[in-house]
Amino acid sequence: MSRAQNAVVVFLASAVALGLPVKTDACTSILVTKGASVDGSTMISYSADAEFHPRPRIIPAADHKPGSKKEIRGWRGVLGHVPEVRHTYKVVGLMNEHQLAIGETTFGGRTELKSNKGIFHYYPLMLIALERAKTAREAITVMTSLVEKYGYISEGESISIADKNEVWLLEIVGPGKNRRGAIWVAVRIPDGMVAAHANMSRIHRFPLNDPDNARYSKNVIKYAIKKGYYNPKSNKPFSFSNAYNPPTHEQVKVAERRVWSIFRRAAPSLKLSPDYSSLLPGSKPYPLFIKPDRKLSVRDVIALHRDHYEGTRFDTTKDHLAGPFGAPDRWRPLKWEAGGKKYSWERPIATQQVGFVYVSQSRADFPDAIGGVNWFGMDNPYTNVFVPFYTSITRFPKSYVTGKLSHFTPESAWWAYNFVANYANLRYSYMIKDIQKVQQEIEDVIFGLQPAVEQAARHLRKTNPEMIGPYLTQYCNSTAEETLQKWWDLADLLITKYNDGYIQNPKGRPQEIGYPKKWLEQELEQGPKRAPIRGEKAQDREL
């Protein structure tokens, strides 16, 4: 075991809440259409943010006997059964063998709409769609028909859905206590556009008689009128978001600010104001989708997830809580009180409680066994590495399916990335440069190899197609394990280089670097009164 691995247990004991997952203001998703990507891919991203140790899994394709039933499980056991279909598709993580990918964020919505009658939470609903659908439209039909018959019992959800050609956003809420069913709307993101959602409903107006671009439950408007959420005599167009997830200052700040930051970076020319992300009077909600200034690659989408609002007045590396070394993380809870008033910290896109984050890549000009890729990262996207997992792989590497939150193990990829992210907070402005150097080196190689790897896979498809799965499994798993070792090597470097407040120079000698000049000046202004050392000249005391 390396020095870093030995140090982890003690270091994280006070930094990580061990035990059951914690509910958070969580998850960020980006949706990219074919015409908005550099290579004609459709892409969705999904940052699953909560205090948990992820373990991705593979659900094999299967044939089922007539009359068989599928068990539907909730967080605490079996909730019911639905008729099984004759054949279900292979699912790798949250992408299936036909390059269909799904992700989500929870917006909650009106608390009185959460139903207690039904069997489907959002996550089993997403999985069953991946097992039964080849396209985004089919997935929408699968999910909405099931919840209408068997009931939806989660809070409000925004669900991203991408196939090889289209990208859709489905938003769904329950019908209320003692009622079975769901209220929903799905909108196709126009080709050439980019969308995003982050824990707040984003669908406002939608066409009512255009099934190629929008689908919805029959009661979507009628129920809002019945409940008093919408007044048709107001002469205002119906907004799903305003009716079922009316904005609050708190939710807009933690949710729409992330959407604003994604849009401001993807399309700087729009000069979108941050005003709505503070719910300032007169400000308007951000559009559901935008046209990016330039087409995006997978690496561009990854970069959008590496965001602390840098360069804006919300930059979490610059405020008082960032300390002398610009640490961007804000410890939970986000809300706090002082002087009898309530406040909250900023909630950036890159955050310490990310469990995993992926960017899916679906490509119509590739065979399914090669075209579908999940670029998968463990823990905080700002300080991790994204590695590829094709949908034809037969297993995940051991390090990605090993470990748990309540016990550190160096064999777990999540613990490696989590350690580096946490240790960096000791002297962030220095360590992040070391981390990004290794991060870029690794990702440069992985993305640089992708064309050659896929060319070899295409050749196998012609000569020995049954070997595509084993070949890509070997490539993906060896890449992930080699990357993990490099990350532990990085951890060793950080512990050695940054030790006891010193910074080791290239010759291995500890240097007294101290605190930044600006921070020392603030200390003199805001801290306790300090007298200069006697006998020194003024210029010797300069900071």
Domain boundaries, given as residue ranges, for the chain: 3-17+366-503, 29-307, 510-541
527 pLDDT band, cuts 50/70/90, is: confident
For residue 198, is pLDDT > 50? yes
Strands 387-390 and 498-499: unpaired
Residue 503: other Cβ atoms inside 10 A? 16
Q: Which H or E run contains 44?
A: strand 42-49
Sequence-distant contacts of 222-230: CB under 8 A, at least 24 apart: 223/175, 223/183, 229/110
Angle among Cα 411, 442, 480 to the nearest 5 degrees reads 35
For residue 118, is pLDDT > 50? yes
HSE toward the beta carbon, residue 226, CA cutoff 13 A: 8
For residue 394, is pLDDT > 70? yes
Instruction: Measure the N-to-C terminal CA separation of the chain; round to a whole number of Å.
Output: 42
Alpha carbon 382 to its chain centroid, in Å, reads 11
Residue 507 and residue 379: Cα distance in Å, rounded? 33
DSSP assigned state of 294:
S
> In 372-509, where does DSSP find H-type helix?
413-423, 428-463, 468-497
For residue 531, is pLDDT > 70? yes
Helix (H, G, I), strand (E, B) or coil at 136: helix
HSE toward the beta carbon, residue 288, CA cutoff 13 A: 21
pTM comes to 0.93
Mean pLDDT of the chain: 92
* pLDDT at site 539: 52
528 pLDDT band, cuts 50/70/90, is: confident
HSE toward the beta carbon, residue 352, CA cutoff 13 A: 23
529 pLDDT band, cuts 50/70/90, is: confident
7 pLDDT band, cuts 50/70/90, is: very low
Copy the structure tokens of residue 330. 């804000």
Query: What Rg value do the Cα atoms of the chain yield, rounded?
Result: 25
Percent of the chain whose pLDDT exceeds 70: 94
Helix (H, G, I), strand (E, B) or coil at 401: coil
- pLDDT, tens digit, 9 for 90 and up, residues 395-452: 999 999 999 999 999 999 999 999 999 999 999 999 999 999 999 999 999 999 999 9
526 pLDDT band, cuts 50/70/90, is: confident
Percent of the chain whose pLDDT exceeds 90: 87
Count of helices and strands (H, E) across the chain: 12, 24
For residue 530, is pLDDT > 80? no
Single-letter code of the amino acid located at 406 = S
Task: DSSP for 454-480, please give it.
Answer: HHHHHHHHHH-GGGHHHHHHHHHHHHH
* pLDDT at site 104: 97
Give whole-number Cα distances, 9 to 3, 50, 54, 422, 521, in Å.
Answer: 11, 20, 19, 12, 36
Q: What are phi and psi of 377, to 5 degrees?
A: -130, 140
For residue 535, is pLDDT > 70? no
> In 319-361, where does DSSP find H-type helix?
none
